[in-house]
Structure 1
Amino acid sequence: MANAAPSAGKTFVVEHLDPELEAWSSLEYANIAKECHSSGARFLLSSVPQSLKLPQNLQGAEGLTVENRGIEEIYAAQKDKVCLLDPAASKDLSPEDGDDFDIFLFGGILGDDPPRDRTSELRKKGYQGRRLGPIQMTTDTAVRVTRMIVQERVPVDKIVYLDHPEIKVSKNETTEMPFRYVKGADGGPIMPEGMMDLIKKDSEKGLGDLL
């Protein structure tokens, strides 16, 4: 059976569960907004504290909507249309889920190493869950993979990944990224613009200080 036509118009929501927004996250959020906008989707950053001043790269970003309200309030009448991307879910996300769900929810910072169960706060609220495989992804990678599955109808096991790639940070030094990425056309991991520079700049502090 042939795949259905690509489905645009989905909403991808990151429930921002932190009082601050690190440079690492702002680059990822900007990249999510850019990719969602170009694919006809919407990126919603919810639960943003009113005291949080967005960095320049997110102010006025196309494809991005910022909400102080939480997901429960925003989509109170559409709970059955919300899919929580949950590493602890019993079922993998499939292209067919694009027929059943319109809103795809990600809990805070996915790219923790070691991973903390940040999604548990959302899991308790009763949203239907789907997983993206066993290996930890950065937030923008998780949104990218979800968009590829539900909008482009690519099965999760047909996406080409790079796991724990080594990044050259200086002439004689590399650092291993503890995440799964989508493999780009150049053979390297797809990362937000500016992320490589940030990794190199902070490499002497250790990756833990980036998260």
Structure 2
Amino acid sequence: MANLNSPTGKTFVVEHLDPELEEWSSLEYFAIASECHESGAQFLLSSVPQSLELPERLQQAKSLKVETRGIEEIYANQKDRVCLLDPAASRDLSPDDGDTFDIFLFGGILGDDPPRDRTSELRKKGYQGRRLGPVQMTTDTAVRVTRIVVQDRVAVDKIPSVDHPELKINENESTEMPFRYVLGKDGQPIMPEGMVDLIKKDSEKGLSDLL
């Protein structure tokens, strides 16, 4: 089996855990893969059901590896180098963790609202855990923050961010996003390409159902 670790950066692993792939997850995964490619890191989707066919755009994404095996099997001999990003962990992630861990594991739970403790399945396997603060993040944001901390060596509380930003749907409607986002150079929350349009479309669909 080829070495799944990136030669220059870290490896970021999302255990998919779901039999389907929602459109919003696809957008998040593509964003993660693109940013990992740009930063010399690698993105691994593990536990992907054999029956799940990824969209062509994801199949062609650089720095993305797809595995049907679970994290426990893939990194059986590197368990001490795996860090589980866990909202229930007792310690926050720090830049020094970049020296301790090579692989950073996300259980696909960070984008849930209200949050479900799906990370418990991974926690029981004995991985060392770190948290990213008290506010829920989308999966792509959690990977983005983790990468900035362990590769760029910036402390979590020094990363510009915004909690629960309002997204304008139209002239009369807006929606509050229930997550923390990293702020881009333009001062706006960083979201995957196409995500705002998807949120607007879903919101408008929801409003039409009420009429």
TM-score, length of structure 1 as denominator length: 0.93
* Alignment correspondent of 1:53: 53
Counterpart position of 1:105: 105
Quick one: which amino acid aligns to residue 125 of structure 1?
A: K
Which residue of structure 1 aligns with residue 3 of structure 2? none
Is the deviation greater in 55-64 or in 148-157?
55-64
Q: How many matched pairs?
A: 201
Spell out the pairing of 1:127-146 with structure 2 (5 A cutoff). Answer: 127-146=127-146
1:69-148 matched pairs, under 5 angstroms: 69-148=69-148
Instruction: Structure 1 unaligned segments of length 5 or more: list them.
Output: 1-6
Alpha-carbon distance in structure 2 between the residues aligned to 1:204 and 1:118: 30
Partner of 2:193: 193
Cα contact 2:110–2:137 (8 A) shared by 1: yes
Shift of 1:206: 5.0
Residue 10 of structure 2 aligns with an amino acid whose one-letter code is K
Q: CA deviation at 1:108?
A: 1.6
AA at the equivalent of 1:61: A
Higher RCO (CA < 8 A, seq sep 6+): 1
Q: Distance in 2 between matches of 1:32 and 1:80?
A: 24
Query: What is the CA–CA distance in structure 2 between the aligned matches of 1:149 and 1:46, rounded to whole Å?
Result: 23
| Alignment-derived partner of residue 154 in structure 2 | 154
Shift, 1:157, TM fit: 0.8
Identity level (%): 81
In the TM superposition, residue 52 of structure 1 has moved relative to its aligned partner by 0.2
Contact 1:33 1:43 in 2 (8 A): yes
**How far apart in 2 are the matches of 1:25 and 1:120?**
21
What secondary structure, in the 3-state scheme, does the structure 2 residue paired with 1:58 have?
Answer: helix
CA displacement 1:134-169 (0-9 Å, x = unmatched): 000000000000000000000011011110000011
Deviation at 1:9, TM superposition (A): 1.5
Look up the equivalent residue of 1:75 and give its one-letter code: Y
3-state SS of the aligned residue for 1:170?
Answer: coil
State the AA in 2 paired with 1:94: S
Runs of 4+ residues deviating >6 angstroms? none
Q: 1:205 to 1:112 in 2, by over 3 A?
A: farther
For residues 176 and 105 of structure 2, what CA distance do their matches in structure 1 show?
28
Q: 1:198 to 1:96 in 2, by over 3 A?
A: same
Which stretches in structure 2 are left out of the alignment for 5+ residues? 1-6
SS at match of 2:184: coil
Matched, 1:175 2:175: yes
